[in-house]
Amino acid sequence: MANSYNNIIPGHIHLNDLTEAVKEGIRDAGGVPLEWGVPGVCDGIAMYVEMRLSLPSREHIADNIEIMVLSHSLDGWVGVTSCDKITPGMLMAAGRLDLPAVILTGGPMKANTINGEKHHPIEGFGLVGQVKGGKMTAAEAERKLPSMICGAGSCVGLYTANTMAVVSEVLGMSVTGCATTPALDPLKKEQAYESGTRVVELIKKDLRPRRMMSEKAFENAVRVDMAMGGSTNAVLHIPAVAREAGISVDLEMFDRIAGETPHICAIIPAGAYEMADVHSAGGVPAVLNRLRHLIKDSETVNDRSIASIAAHGKALDEDVIRPIENPYHSQGGIAVLKGNIARSAIIKQTAVDDDMQVHKGPAKVFHTEKDLLNAIEDRRIAEGDVMVLPFQGPCGAPGMPEMLTPTDAIKGAGYSRVALITDGRFSGATSGPCVGHIEMEAFNGGPIGAIADGDIIEIDIPGRRINVQLSDAEIEERLTLEKECTLLREADQKFRSIFDGSMDGLLIVGSEDGRIICVNKRLRTLLGFSEDALVGKSFDVLLPTETEQPPKDMLKELQVCGGVFTQDFMHADGHVFVMDLMATLVPWEEGWTILCTLRDATERIGLEMQLRQAQKMEAIGALAGGVAHDLNNILSGLVSYPELLLMDLPEESHLRKPILTIKRSGERAVAIVNDLLALARRGVSAGEFQALNMKDCGILIPVFK
């Protein structure tokens, strides 16, 4: 079992329980269950910058499973999954490995119904826009939040997680009914048990994923996705899964099948029904039954083929799963648009109101999601505008993040006649005239990067067109300019990387006016100033007020003379400290500037003071050593002469006492001189016992060092 359990996100908090049921099924079928962990990212949490990691996690999951299955020679495996990127990652691994496998999707959560209204987590994204748009207070939004907590399971609507669960079931990789059965429905554990028994049977019969995931199966998956109105992310995931299975699925297939297939389910966000309603109405088998004349037969992990499942399916609610003769829309959920903006682009046409199926409006261009959100919040977007957000693709962002936050901010702010186009992607929760997946992306020179504020954008969903009112020559001219600007931006990024990465403080100052042009991160940290507090200011803001020499003269003199100059600088908190300063004249734009390299000199100066002190002590020691040596020579005579006298004097002589006094005084003087010599030699006189000839006699004598 590749188990993507974690307790961070609702879609995965119950997967351990399901995994235990899978293990039980494997054991009962004669297999031995083994388990390892797979990461699971929640796109709802990973919005904004972190969203760049979400799509790459799909490949990581496929690689994880490949490594674990092959490294441990497993006979087959069950993928226990739920949220957006985990299911396609597991399907990719199934196609790549082509070893017996079953995909168990965790099932959707059920919405809370309060006073006849459904509430669920995705509503929370719209609250921010409503609060900032003045439609409700922050306190009112806080009171609404508890009603949006729905327990375990993937989000309630036909967002990406549930779209891919449906795809897995139609591809024949999940047991029948798995995609729509709610997470906490007792039937889900039965499906988990069945997944365990089925994988053992697949191993015994040597039935492998590529038998199920045939070209016909992928056509069926796209068709059911179009009929139900699934997430636009399916155009990323289905081709990726197909490629791992050795099959080609392109956008032309999506567009062709969408044109042939009616949209028969109105599921959140493109309708009022939730996935639990679809389950109650018959689930995926009922949808297959509605489409049975369009479905091509293919094998499944079940005991029966997809055609057999379709034949036995039954729609129990005529409005939740409509007959193809009475669809919600005559065409499927996704449309592929083309024009001078895009070789191809994707829109969820069934989530666009009729009056916005064709739209023309002026462009408002933003280069970051943050700038776009600020414009929405500040009401700088007018009804009729087409917001353009380039450089959000796989290379440009990088990672192709979802734009759920801006689209929900648009809805929350109450806009009804604005559109958004991007080379990024949209969440399965996105609705409205939002065109994504624009190819080529701006980073690679795509025409979306040529659009400027005020250009007229035309979106025609029925006509499958998206254009900007510019000639090819104008687009090419702008792209050439944009390419040059991109090179400049890249050069600036490299400069910034080197400049801010320096361990020394760096400062660029105008050679004529002495104003600060640029200051790196290290120097800002040393000085305690923000960049805004320094850039554009005179260099003297960094110097103490009592500095005598004018800053410009100081810098010019320094860069002419060269070398390193020590100067007092003032910290933002007012204290003064010393820095080493070196200046170099460097070219900048049309003229010259002074590049200053600064390093905190406090430690160096402290070390120099210690060195000077040590040198003084060494000189004193040398002097003391010489004096002590001379005194030692003198004292040796003073001490030895009284000893000779005492040898000749009788014991009763009255001279012995003063001579002994002289001898002892001399010995004390010798001890003092020895201490002075020890100090001069930087040693400390200390006695310790050492053994001489320990092996023979073990004698210990004191030795002074």
Query: In which band, very low, low, confident or very high, does the pLDDT at 435 lie, cut at 50, 70 and 90?
Result: very high
CA angle 173, 175, 181 (to 5 degrees): 120
79-136 pLDDT, tens digit per residue, is: 999 999 999 999 999 999 999 999 999 999 999 888 888 888 888 777 877 887 788 8
Best CA proximity match to 704, nearest among 681, 695, 665, 696: 681
pTM comes to 0.71
Distance of CA 6 to the CA centre of its chain: 18
Distance of CA 65 to the CA centre of its chain: 22
Question: Do 55 and 163 lie in a common domain?
Answer: yes
Question: Do 563 and 619 lie in a common domain?
Answer: no
Question: Do 442 and 352 lie in a common domain?
Answer: yes
Averaged pLDDT, 270-284: 95
Question: Do 137 and 198 lie in a common domain?
Answer: no
**What per-residue confidence (pLDDT) applies to 487?**
80
Q: Is the pLDDT of residue 705 over 60?
A: no
Report residue 673: phi and psi, to 5°. Answer: -65, -40
Q: Is the pLDDT of residue 463 over 70?
A: yes
For residue 694, being part of any structural domain is answered with no
**What per-residue confidence (pLDDT) applies to 246?**
97
DSSP conformation letters of 277-320 = HHHHTTHHHHHHHHTTTTPPP---SSSS-HHHHHHH---S-TTT
For residue 407, being part of any structural domain is answered with yes
CA distance 705 to 702: 10
Could you tell me the two tokens for 33? 């269950």
> Is the peptide bond preceding residue 440 cis, with omega within 30 degrees of 0?
yes
Residue 427 bears catalytic tag: yes
Contact indicator for 40, 12 with CB cutoff of 8 Å: yes
Question: Do 596 and 659 lie in a common domain?
Answer: no
Q: Is the pLDDT of residue 530 over 80?
A: yes
Question: Do 55 and 97 lie in a common domain?
Answer: yes
Averaged pLDDT, 415-434: 84
Candidates 57, 427, 431, 511; catalytic one: 427
**What per-residue confidence (pLDDT) applies to 282?**
98
Percent of the chain with pLDDT over 70: 93
For residue 170, being part of any structural domain is answered with yes
Averaged pLDDT, 355-382: 91
Query: In which band, very low, low, confident or very high, does the pLDDT at 697 lie, cut at 50, 70 and 90?
Result: very low
Q: Is the pLDDT of residue 647 over 50?
A: yes
Query: In which band, very low, low, confident or very high, does the pLDDT at 698 lie, cut at 50, 70 and 90?
Result: very low
Structural domains of the chain, count:
5
Select the more confidently predicted residue: 260 or 409. 260
CA distance 519 to 526: 11
For residue 82, being part of any structural domain is answered with yes
CA distance 121 to 146: 9
CA distance 403 to 103: 28
**What per-residue confidence (pLDDT) applies to 548?**
60
187-217 pLDDT, tens digit per residue, is: 999 999 999 999 999 999 999 999 999 999 9
For residue 700, being part of any structural domain is answered with no
CA distance 268 to 252: 26
CA distance 9 to 15: 11
**What per-residue confidence (pLDDT) applies to 681?**
64
- 77-81 and 2-3: which strand pairing? parallel
For residue 260, being part of any structural domain is answered with yes
Question: Do 120 and 162 lie in a common domain?
Answer: no
Domain boundary, last residue among 476, 493, 517: 476
- 101-105 and 77-81: which strand pairing? parallel
585-623 pLDDT, tens digit per residue, is: 888 877 788 888 988 888 888 888 888 888 887 787 777
Could you tell me the two tokens for 502? 């320096």
The beta-strand segments (E) located in 132-204 are none
**What per-residue confidence (pLDDT) applies to 679?**
66
Helix (H, G, I), strand (E, B) or coil at 529: coil
Question: Do 582 and 657 lie in a common domain?
Answer: no
648-688 pLDDT, tens digit per residue, is: 888 888 888 888 888 888 788 878 777 777 766 654 444 45
Question: Do 351 and 306 lie in a common domain?
Answer: no
Q: Of 231-235, 278-282, 283-287, 289-293, which range is least confident?
A: 231-235
Best CA proximity match to 699, nearest among 689, 684, 687: 689
For residue 697, being part of any structural domain is answered with no
Query: What's the domain range around 432?
Result: 334-476
For residue 568, give the CATH number of its domain.
3.30.450.20
Partners of residue 584 on adjacent β-strands: 595
Q: Is 396 exposed, middle or buried (0-12, 13-18, 19+ CB in 10 A)?
A: buried
**What per-residue confidence (pLDDT) applies to 448?**
94
Contacts of 172 (CB under 8 A, 6+ apart): 212, 213, 217, 298, 299, 300, 301, 302, 306
Averaged pLDDT, 363-386: 91
Question: Do 137 and 159 lie in a common domain?
Answer: no
**What per-residue confidence (pLDDT) applies to 249?**
96
Q: Is the pLDDT of residue 696 over 50?
A: no
Contact indicator for 586, 595 with CB cutoff of 8 Å: yes
Question: Do 53 and 175 lie in a common domain?
Answer: yes
Domain boundary, last residue among 120, 149, 178: 149
Question: Do 123 and 166 lie in a common domain?
Answer: no
Domain boundary, last residue among 603, 633, 648: 603
**What per-residue confidence (pLDDT) applies to 700?**
43
**What per-residue confidence (pLDDT) applies to 547?**
66
Averaged pLDDT, 376-397: 90
Unique residue bearing structure tokens 């996705």: 225
Query: In which band, very low, low, confident or very high, does the pLDDT at 50 lie, cut at 50, 70 and 90?
Result: low
For residue 182, being part of any structural domain is answered with yes
Task: Spell out a b/e string for 101-124, using b for 16 or more CB atoms within 10 Å of the CB, else e.
Answer: bbbbbbbbbbbbeeeeebbbbbbb
- 358-365 and 386-389: which strand pairing? parallel
